[in-house]
Amino acid sequence: MAEVAANNANHPCETPKNVFDFGAFVGDLIVEEDASSDDISLEGLQEELEECKNDDVVANILSKGIKLREYTKGVEHNLRKVELDSIQYWVMQDYIKESDNLVSLHDQIRDCDSILSQMETLLSGFQVEIGSISSDIKILQEKSMDMGLKLKNRKVAESKLAKFVEDIIVPPRMVDIIVDGEVNDEYMRTLDILSKKLKFVDTDPMVKDSKALKDVQPELEKLRQKAVSKVFDFIVQKLQALRKPKTNIQILQQNVLLKYKYIISFLKEHSKEVHLEVRAAYIDTMNKVLSAHFRAYIQALEKLQLDIATSNDLIGVETRSTSLFSRGREPLKNRSAVFALGERLNVLKEIDQPALIPHIAEASSLKYPYEVLFRSLHKLLMDTATSEYLFCDEFFGEESIFYEIFAGPFAVIDEHFNSILPNCYDAIGLMLMIRIVHQHQLIMSRRRIPCLDSYLDKVNISLWPRFKMVFDMHLSSLRNANVKLLWEDDSHPHYVMRRYAEFTASLIHINVEYGDGQLELNMERLRMAVDELLMKLAKMFSKPKLQIVFLINNCDMTIAVLKEAGPEGGKIQQHFEEMLKSNTGLFVEELLMEHFSDLIKFVKTRASEDPNGSNERPISVSEVEPIVKDFGSRWKGAIELMHKDVITSFSNFLCGMEILRAALTQLLLYYTRLSDCIKRINGGAAFNKDLVSISSIMYEIRKYSRTF
């Protein structure tokens, strides 16, 4: 570049001759530059080119037609070469100046190389030694693992050996306790240890091959025999305490025997013969004790029994029968409690109350229907069975022993029940006992104690046929009743109907919560039989009016008794209400015909006719005149007679009041129709002074309605 600059300085720009037009070149250049870039400004370029047009180099370039870009690349290449030559020159000059330092540096590098060689040799030795040490460490590690395994095996062997020694050895303290110790908590713990040693000797395969077994086994056998003998005597002694009179068995079982229940397990495992002997002794003891206990309780309950009914205490039996007065009892119709439920239903409300204490009840001179004694007996049975069942399960570990123990008590209760049931003619009592059994089954189910299931089922199966037989006896007594013997010349409620009403109400009330369809069917059969008998008794009256009064009184009484028992009368009550309604209508007509027959006949036959119509016999003044005058002269007296008749005819005043009101209302309707008929007759206005006003009749109706 310096050279170029010098040449440029020495050779001012000259324009070469016979070369292309410089102005055209500049124009082309400007166009080229404008095409290449719109951003480059070419302002002043013309002037610069004018200054350099005389330069040889530029002229030479222009004369040769070289493009500016190619020439620029050549100049740049020359500059790069000059620059490299300059750098090489100066580097050589610097190298010559630093030659001494380079020699020194070479020496130092050689010394370092020697030192590094020595270090390499030393490190190689270290590497060899380290490899040897690694091999030694590996060997030591293997030896350590081997020693650890041996140690572990020795510890396992030591542990097993220690346990073996501990399990097979017989400590002197254990021998002393088994042989001379009292049977207590410590003795139980020692028995447990002995049991484990005995099972270890019998079951562990290591023991059979050991020499120690020959020394220990005889001693263990002696201890077993001694322990079995000692605990057997102890348990038998405790069982004998159960036989003592007035012993509270449950307290003795819970507070004494259960503390030593491990003895039973020990005997069961190590002396089955003795275990069976203890088991048999307990079964025999409890069987006899409980059998005697229930036998004594039943005998005490029998003294409290209140006789309710005999085979002659039936609905359709005539009260004057001499057989009914057996054992000097009062007439049946005065003893309606035979059929009425009364307070006997309380036995179901007190189902879970404690059992009766006989001597207290006897001291108070109390007597009870048999269902009360039945509930008390079975309450005691449930509580005793529950306690014994749970004890046998916990003490002996088996439930089947219970059934062997209670074979005796069940037999005692069955014997008593089989003697009572064939002589029981109390249908209400039998149904109450059936409900008691059902309630007791529910109680045992809630307790989750199944031991009485089969027994209670058997009792229930015994009670139902007996109830059906007694019920059929009542049914037959109605169907086969002697109407002539039963009939009494009295229109008031018959004692047979009262018995039936009370008996039916009692059974309906007992059946409320159970909905026994079979019982409802039987009661419907009984209702049909009593209907038939009632109609036969009614026909024994000579007057139709008395027949109707008899039916009304009996229906009213039956409905009242059914209502007293509760709102569950159902179809039976509805039947008697319909019968009462129909007979009330008949009685009203009979009563009115008795006192106002002319009025009623006229109203029924003539009042509905048109007085001015074309009838064969039109209604005349003379036809109605006697009826009007007769009614006006005696209607008050007739109502008074009707009032007295109703009072004497019906035993229920409320029912009589309703019947009298119905009769007077019907009379008012008849008289109103008569008055309307008279108003339509020609000349009927003449009777206005003789007609009784409706308000007067209404006043009398209200007056007599208030007398009840």
The predicted-structure confidence for 387-424, as pLDDT tens digits, reads as follows: 999 999 999 988 889 999 999 999 999 999 999 999 99
| DSSP code, position 513 | T
Per the model's pLDDT, the better-predicted residue between 683 and 536 turns out to be 536
| Predicted TM-score of the model (pTM) | 0.70
pLDDT-derived band at 325 (thresholds 50, 70, 90) equals very low
Residue 210 is predicted with a pLDDT of 66
Q: What are the CA-CA distances from residue 294 to residues 144, 286, 436, 457 (Å)? A: 80, 12, 19, 20
Residue 65 is predicted with a pLDDT of 59
The predicted-structure confidence for 12-37, as pLDDT tens digits, reads as follows: 444 444 444 444 444 444 444 444 44
| DSSP code, position 324 | G
Backbone φ, ψ for residue 120 (5° rounding): -60, -40
Measured distance CA(178)–CA(198) in Å, rounded: 14
Compute how many other C-beta atoms are within 10 angstroms of the C-beta atom of residue 571: 10
Q: How many residues does the chain have?
A: 708
Residue 221 is predicted with a pLDDT of 83
Q: Determine the average pLDDT of the residues in 239-245.
A: 86
The predicted-structure confidence for 450-497, as pLDDT tens digits, reads as follows: 999 999 999 999 999 999 999 999 999 999 989 988 888 888 899 999
Chain-centre distance of CA 94, in angstroms?
112
Q: Determine the average pLDDT of the residues in 169-188.
A: 85
The predicted-structure confidence for 180-212, as pLDDT tens digits, reads as follows: 888 888 888 888 888 887 777 776 666 666 666
Residue 607 is predicted with a pLDDT of 66
Residue 702 is predicted with a pLDDT of 82
Q: Determine the average pLDDT of the residues in 635-642.
A: 86
Measured distance CA(288)–CA(296) in Å, rounded: 12
Residue 330 has pLDDT above 70, yes or no: no
Cβ atoms of 598 and 630 closer than 8 Å: yes
Residue 231's contacts (CB-CB under 8 Å, 6 or more residues apart) are 183, 191, 260, 263, 266, 267
Residue 236 has pLDDT above 80, yes or no: yes
Residue 503 has pLDDT above 60, yes or no: yes
Per the model's pLDDT, the better-predicted residue between 441 and 331 turns out to be 441
Q: Which two tokens stand for residue 428?
A: 């209400």
The predicted-structure confidence for 523-572, as pLDDT tens digits, reads as follows: 899 999 999 999 999 999 988 999 999 999 999 999 998 888 766 667 88
Backbone φ, ψ for residue 368 (5° rounding): -135, 145
Per the model's pLDDT, the better-predicted residue between 70 and 128 turns out to be 128
Residue 25 is predicted with a pLDDT of 45
Residue 606 is predicted with a pLDDT of 73
Measured distance CA(125)–CA(128) in Å, rounded: 5
Cα torsion angle, 431, 437, 438, 439, sign: positive
Measured distance CA(635)–CA(668) in Å, rounded: 11
Measured distance CA(231)–CA(178) in Å, rounded: 10
The rounded percent of the chain whose pLDDT value lies above 90 is 28
The predicted-structure confidence for 246-292, as pLDDT tens digits, reads as follows: 888 889 888 888 988 888 888 888 888 999 999 999 999 999 999 99
Per the model's pLDDT, the better-predicted residue between 70 and 175 turns out to be 175
Per the model's pLDDT, the better-predicted residue between 582 and 11 turns out to be 582
Q: What are the CA-CA distances from residue 619 to residues 486, 584, 627, 680, 691 (Å)? A: 51, 32, 13, 10, 17
pLDDT-derived band at 300 (thresholds 50, 70, 90) equals very high
Residue 439 is predicted with a pLDDT of 94
Per the model's pLDDT, the better-predicted residue between 448 and 155 turns out to be 448
Q: Determine the average pLDDT of the residues in 71-75.
A: 77
Backbone φ, ψ for residue 305 (5° rounding): -75, 135
- ∠377-383-389 over CA atoms, to 5°? 125
Residue 156 is predicted with a pLDDT of 82
Per the model's pLDDT, the better-predicted residue between 679 and 55 turns out to be 679
Residue 586 has pLDDT above 60, yes or no: yes
Residue 230 has pLDDT above 60, yes or no: yes
Average pLDDT, the chain: 81
pLDDT-derived band at 333 (thresholds 50, 70, 90) equals very low
Classified as helix, coil or strand, 207 is helix
Residue 667 has pLDDT above 60, yes or no: yes
Give the 3-state DSSP-derived string for 453-504, with helices as H, strands as E and coil as C: HHHHHHHHHHHHHHHHHHHHHHHHHHHCCCHHHHCCCCCCCCHHHHHHHHHH
Classified as helix, coil or strand, 399 is coil
Residue 199 is predicted with a pLDDT of 78
Nearest to 438 by CA among 406, 471, 460: 460
**At which residue do the structure tokens 């020495």 appear?**
10
Q: What is the number of alpha carbons within 13 Å of residue 283 lying toward its C-beta? A: 17
